[in-house]
Structure 1
Amino acid sequence: MNIEKSLREKLNGSSIKVNEPLKNYTYSHTGGIADYYITVYNIHDAMETIHFAREHNIPLTYLGNGSNLIIRDGGIRGIVLNTLELKDIKREGDYIIAGSGSRIIDVSRFARDESLTGLEFACGIPGSVGGAVYMNAGAYGGELKDCLEEVKVVTPEGELLTLHRDELHLGYRQSIVQENGYLVVEATFKLAEGNIDEINAVMTELTRLRESKQPLELPSCGSVFQRPPGHFAGKLIQDSKLQGHRIGGVEVSKKHAGFMVNIDNGTGSDYEELIHYVQKVVKEKFDVELQREVRIIGEHTKNPNQE
């Protein structure tokens, strides 16, 4: 079977790229080649792609905008599917409905412009709506679970479901989307009427804090570790004197120890080795086990067919 031809016949409205470098799609600038990289422009094509992969036993990986992600140097076999073109944002009363490909930052700004309060905390989160739902993203004391009302997902069987907030199992960086391998295609947020000047003032201050503390000027994979109970990951790493420690082209940020930055063509392997080293040192010094927040996916070695 010619997979590319079959996909093009089935997905007339989608972009299909073959042997596509994934480092072009991650904030960390890491990732080998995807066999097939598909961008869908509608929910129907997302469902068709899932059906096709399932029917032909082809591995399928979902990719958002790659803001909290490391992809290994060997790339990803099978199909990589993204919904970044599902980016419509609209208001219905006190609700905002957003496609999974829209940036959560843009949804936050849309809410501000509509004088709706409740999403200010998300004004600096770089991920897509789908990725934010996947990990119940949060910042500055807020989380998506505080305002998420319902989500439309496609199951691994290709069925479209609508899940209410009570069905999403939202916890610290966790959701049923992770647990069950769902693909998010749309999210609805329940907000409240507010004052646009007050909302804007909060967002301006949060943006100032983020820009002053985080290494936004360099490629990174975002916040690397979850917050350990009773501690802050960045403080533990800083107190371990690991800021500036480098493996390959990746180093622990000198600006914020909770970040690792790609300063010289760093690879997925560089990131992984540095993460393991930091975990080892912090465990030895403070007896605290740092758990990753960043996702790491992909193959360790290249597909021989890529050579």
Structure 2
Amino acid sequence: MNTLIDKNFVAACREFLQAEQVLLDEPMRLHTTFEIGGPADCLIFPANMAETQRILKLVKEYKLPLTLLGNGSNMLVRDKGIRGVVVKFAEPMSSIRCEGTRIIAGAGALLKDVSECAAAHGLTGLEYACGIPGSIGGAVFMNAGAYDGETKNVADCVRAVDAEGNIHEFSKDELELGYRHSVFQTNGEAICEVELQLQPGDEQEIRAKIADYTQRRESKQPLEMPSAGSTFKRPEGYFAGTLIDQTGLKGLTVGGAQVSTKHAGFVVNAGGATAADVVNLIHEVQRRVKEKHGVELQPEVRMLGEE
């Protein structure tokens, strides 16, 4: 067991969590869409808000570093992994229910499943999310968006837990949702439940829009290869993928990391890529695009852990 994790902390967690909810020295490549990353000292999967409260209180009591994750779809875990405790909101916390024109989802619910639930109930406003490979909690954290839709247009209320284990409810106006930004990037609270306000629509029209977005995404994006989604933020007045393509960087590789030959805005794991490969490739793309176009690209991918 990693010496940073007190065995008493693990024992305390296992008093109220199942064995499969607490994993030690767990390779993070198994828990991110990039399929890259060293071990987390301790990886925990809460199943509800009450468990999250108890976990965060214990983390504070034992003075352990804490990292919060959604589906692991917009991040790169570095090669030496993550010290301390990683709390991942995944399948155990993925309930979805519909109440009138509102959908209430656990933080770990996948966006594609929430989008499908909305369609099945004839609710419009979430079609854009059908192909985003993240969770609803991660979507709020990053204000995820696609095809002229974004989370801030539908998120109405979020329940989160702070380091002391207190539950806070955030109204739409308190979420501070902007371009790839939310209040949770600065307040450190764990998103546990999200309420979405949608509008009544025609199910056939909703499904037609989803089919259109899905076809567009599948034809243009390298979904068949592990990645973290769009690698760079959109620079003002430009598209990152277009700039990278115009710089002639499609197919550029460093180790196992590659600028996708299908869409230059994606760095993909072409096989056995390390986090160092990805970081070095990102730096090379930034350097060459700056040299050719005078534009500084900023990574959209969050980088966590130790090099």
TM-score, length-normalised on structure 1?
0.95
Runs of at least 5 residues in structure 2 that lack an aligned partner in the other structure: 1-5
Q: Distance in 2 between matches of 1:205 and 1:89?
A: 24
RMSD between aligned residues? 1.2
Runs of at least 5 residues in structure 1 that lack an aligned partner in the other structure: 301-307
| Among candidates 12, 23, 33, match of residue 17 of structure 1 | 23
The corresponding residue for 2:101 is: 94
Contact 1:13/1:45 (<8 A) preserved: no
Q: CA deviation at 1:6?
A: 2.6
The corresponding residue for 2:83 is: 77
Q: CA deviation at 1:257?
A: 0.3
Q: CA deviation at 1:156?
A: 2.6
Query: Where in structure 1 do 4 or more consecutive aligned residues deviate above 3 Å?
Result: 10-14
Q: CA deviation at 1:26?
A: 0.7
Give a deviation string over 1:209-245, Cα, whole Å, max 9, x none: 0000000011111100111000000000000101100
Q: Distance in 2 between matches of 1:33 and 1:53?
A: 18
Contact 2:75/2:228 (<8 A) preserved: yes
Contact 2:71/2:89 (<8 A) preserved: no
* SS of the residue 1:223 aligns to: coil
Q: CA deviation at 1:291?
A: 1.1
| Among candidates 272, 279, 301, match of residue 294 of structure 1 | 301
1:253 and 2:279 aligned: no
Q: Distance in 2 between matches of 1:186 and 1:268?
A: 31
Letter in 2 for 1:255: K
Equivalent residues, number: 300
Contact 2:47/2:93 (<8 A) preserved: yes
Contact 1:13/1:40 (<8 A) preserved: no
Q: CA deviation at 1:11?
A: 3.6
Q: Distance in 2 between matches of 1:23 and 1:34?
A: 10
Contact 1:32/1:74 (<8 A) preserved: yes
Q: CA deviation at 1:137?
A: 0.1
Change (3 A) 1:167 1:264: same
The corresponding residue for 1:277 is: 284
The corresponding residue for 1:228 is: 235
* SS of the residue 1:220 aligns to: coil
Letter in 2 for 1:184: I
Give a deviation string over 1:158-185, Cα, whole Å, max 9, x none: 2111100100000000000112112110
Q: Distance in 1 between matches of 2:20 and 2:165?
A: 17
1:147 and 2:138 aligned: no
The corresponding residue for 1:41 is: 47
TM-score, length-normalised on structure 2?
0.95
